[in-house]
Structure 1
C-alpha cells in the first residue's frame, strides 16, 4: 500500500504513548498525507509537540456522533484509543471505551467507506500460556478474569467480525512498549522510574515481552502497507524477566540497587487486601490480583509472523532503556548522579 499514499489518515488515541509515535511514523512515511488526531478534550498533547500540519479533533470514541465526524473524509484509520488499566473505580468504563468505542469506530469506517483500518489490539489476547510457552497468533485466549484483557479480546473479535463482513481491517497486537514518550507512564515505565528513586525494588518472578515503542509504531505503518485483511500480528521484541530489565536500566547509568525477586503467588494475599482498600478509598492500589494473574502466566510471545510478513525488525533492549531513562531524566521524573542528565549514548 506504500505506493498509494493515503489522502487523509485518522489516528484515534494519537496523543498517547504508542499513538503519538504512530503519528510521527506516519508523518515521516507520508509527508504529503493529511493527519487527523482524535484525542480527549482535556488530554495532554505534549508527545506531539513539534509536529506540523496536524489536525486535532477533540472527541470521545464512546460518542457515535463525535466518532462519525472524526472518520468522515479519511481513507485510512488507525484505531488506538483505549483504556489500559488493571484497576478502576468503575471497571465498566473500560468496557465502554475498549469495546463499544471500537464498535463505534469500525461502524463509522464501514459507513464512510474507509479503505483500510489498522486496529490496535494487545499481546494479552494470546499470551498468558505460561512462562515456558512462547505464544503466537494461534494461541487461545487464556487471561480470563482480567478485565483489561477481556475487553481487548472482545474488541479484537469485533475487528475480526468486521473484517469477515467486508471491512478491510488488519489487527496488530503490541507487547509491552518501552522507550521515550512514556507520559503515563506504563507499568514497565513505572518500574524504571521507581528503581531510580528507591534503594531497592521488588520484582515479580515473571517474563514479559518488550518492544521499543518506535518499532511498535513502525509495525503499525507496515501493517497498513503489507498486512493481510483480517490477520493478526504480534508486534514483539524479546522476552525478559522484570529483574533483568531493571538491572539493565541501572547498569546503563552505572547505578546499582537491590532487586528482590519474588514469586507472584507470595504477593497474592497482599494484592487482595490492597484491592479491598481501593474499593473503599477509590484510589488505585499499588498491586492488584489481576497483575498477579498476569505475572503467573507471563507475557511471553514470538513476533516471527510480523518479522516474516511485515518485515518488522526491532532494536536491542539496551537502546530502548537508554532512551527511556534519558526521557524520564529530562522531565525530572528520575535523577541521575553527576552533572549529566542522561545516560551515556542516549539519543
Structure 2
C-alpha cells in the first residue's frame, strides 16, 4: 500500500465530524492536499474556525447528538465515507462525554448505515487500554479495554464504549465497513492541551522543576501523522469494499479493527518537555533543575488541589499530572505498519519545531494586536 503524498484521484464524498477542531482540520487539509478532487463535507457545532477555502469543501453547523438532524443531513449529503473525530474536551462534564461520545457516535452510525456509507473511521484514544497504575510497554491492540470502575477517567470509558459500538457495526449491513484509530499523546499546530501548557510553564519560569526520575518512556504523536493514519485507514477500507463480499485474512484485515497510531519514537517524558522548552527559548542547564520525588510531588499535588478547590480554581500541579508524568506508556504500531502501510511522515523533533513555532507566532500576533 502506498504512502505517497502525491495528489491522487477523488475518494468520492468524505464527511468529517469535528472537522474544525484540532485533529479534524488537519485531516481536512491533508485530505485536500492529497486528493484535491474529493468532495468534503465538514460537520461541527460551530464551523467558524480552521476553515479551508477550497470550493470542494463545505461546512455545516451540526449537533451529532441530534439523531433526527444527523439522519436528515446524511440523507441530503449521501457521503461515501465518514471520518468521525468529534468529541468534547477531556476535562468536560461526564454527561456531555456520554452524550457526545456514546450517543452521538451511535447516532452517526445509524445515519451512515441507513444512507449507504461505505467506510466509517472513528477517532478513538490510546487511553482505552490504560488504567491509573499499570505501565504500558509496547502495548498492542490485544490489550483489553479498561472501562467502568477500573477506569478513573470517565472520558476514556466513553471513548471505549464508542469504539466498541463502531467496531461492532462493521459489516452491518454487509457493505458497511468500520475501523478505529487510537492516537497517543497528540500535539501540533492548534493543540489546546499539551504544548500550550508546556510553553506557559516556560513563560512562568517553571522549567527548573522535574517530577520523578525521568526513566519512563512515553509516546507523543505529531498531529499530521495521526491525520495520515486516518487517511490510510480510509483507503484500506475502500480497497476492502471493492472486494466485497470477500473477507481478508485475519493478518491483513482492517475492517472491524483498531489501530494504535504514534510517532514510533517513545521518549523519556521530561526529555520531551525540555525539547519543547528549548524550542520556546529555554536555556536552563540541567544542573539547575530541581528533582521532586514522585511521592513528595503527589502529596504536594493533593494539598494544592484541596487549597485551590476552596478558591474555586485548578492548581498547576495535580495528582493526575504527577501520575501522568511518571508512568511508562508507549505503544506498538506494528499492526498499523503491516495492515495500513503506516509510517510516520514527520519526526518528533520537526513536530515540536512546528508546534511550538505556531504557538510563538500566535503569541507574537496577539502582543502586536494588543500594542496597537
Give the TM interval when normalised to the shorter protein.
0.7 to 0.9
Which runs of structure 2 are paired with 1:245-264 in the superposition (5 Å)? 245-252=272-279, 255-257=282-284, 260-262=290-292, 264=294
Match of 1:302 among 324, 328, 332: 332
- The residue that corresponds to 1:189 in the other structure is 195
Q: Does 1:26 align with 2:31?
A: yes
Q: Does 1:174 align with 2:215?
A: no
1:84-125 deviations in Å (ceiling 9; x for gaps):
31x33x321111111111111111111112010011101111
How far is the alpha carbon of 1:136 from its aligned partner? 0.9
1:259–1:225 distance in 2 versus 1, CA, 3 Å: farther
Corresponding residue SS for 1:251? helix
Match of 2:21 among 4, 8, 16: 16
Match of 2:257 among 196, 207, 231: 231
Match of 1:209 among 193, 209, 219: 219
- The residue that corresponds to 2:249 in the other structure is none
Q: Does 1:326 align with 2:335?
A: no
How far is the alpha carbon of 1:240 from its aligned partner? 2.1
Provide the C-alpha distance between the structure 1 equivalents of 2:301 and 2:365, rounded to a whole number of angstroms.
Answer: 26
Q: Does 1:136 align with 2:140?
A: yes
How far is the alpha carbon of 1:141 from its aligned partner? 2.7
How far is the alpha carbon of 1:282 from its aligned partner? 6.1
Provide the C-alpha distance between the structure 2 equivalents of 1:140 and 1:292, rounded to a whole number of angstroms.
Answer: 25
Q: Does 1:62 align with 2:65?
A: yes
How far is the alpha carbon of 1:131 from its aligned partner? 3.9
Superposition TM-score, scaled by structure 2 size: 0.78
Structure 2 unpaired stretches of 5+: 3-7, 238-253, 367-372
Provide the C-alpha distance between the structure 2 equivalents of 1:321 and 1:291, rounded to a whole number of angstroms.
Answer: 21
How far is the alpha carbon of 1:330 from its aligned partner? 1.1
- The residue that corresponds to 1:153 in the other structure is 160
Q: Does 1:241 align with 2:268?
A: yes
Corresponding residue SS for 1:119? strand
Corresponding residue SS for 1:106? helix
Provide the C-alpha distance between the structure 2 equivalents of 1:7 and 1:82, rounded to a whole number of angstroms.
Answer: 25
Match of 1:316 among 320, 338, 347: 347
Say which one has the larger Rg. Answer: 2
How far is the alpha carbon of 1:275 from its aligned partner? 5.4
Which runs of structure 2 are paired with 1:333-344 in the superposition (5 Å)? none
Instruction: Pick which of 247-256 and 60-69 moved more.
Output: 247-256
Corresponding residue SS for 2:161? helix
- The residue that corresponds to 2:369 in the other structure is none
The answer as to whether partners of 1:193 and 1:334 remain within 8 angstroms in 2 is no
Match of 1:114 among 114, 117, 121: 117
Corresponding residue SS for 2:143? coil
How far is the alpha carbon of 1:296 from its aligned partner? 5.4
Provide the C-alpha distance between the structure 2 equivalents of 1:251 and 1:305, rounded to a whole number of angstroms.
Answer: 34
The answer as to whether partners of 2:199 and 2:276 remain within 8 angstroms in 1 is no
Name the Cα RMSD after superposition: 3.0
The answer as to whether partners of 1:208 and 1:239 remain within 8 angstroms in 2 is yes
Superposition TM-score, scaled by structure 1 size: 0.83
How far is the alpha carbon of 1:284 from its aligned partner? 5.2
Instruction: Pick which of 221-230 and 139-148 moved more.
Output: 139-148
1:194-220 deviations in Å (ceiling 9; x for gaps):
243122234544543111111110110
Structure 1 unpaired stretches of 5+: 336-347
Provide the C-alpha distance between the structure 1 equivalents of 2:48 and 2:295, rounded to a whole number of angstroms.
Answer: 37
The answer as to whether partners of 2:113 and 2:172 remain within 8 angstroms in 1 is no
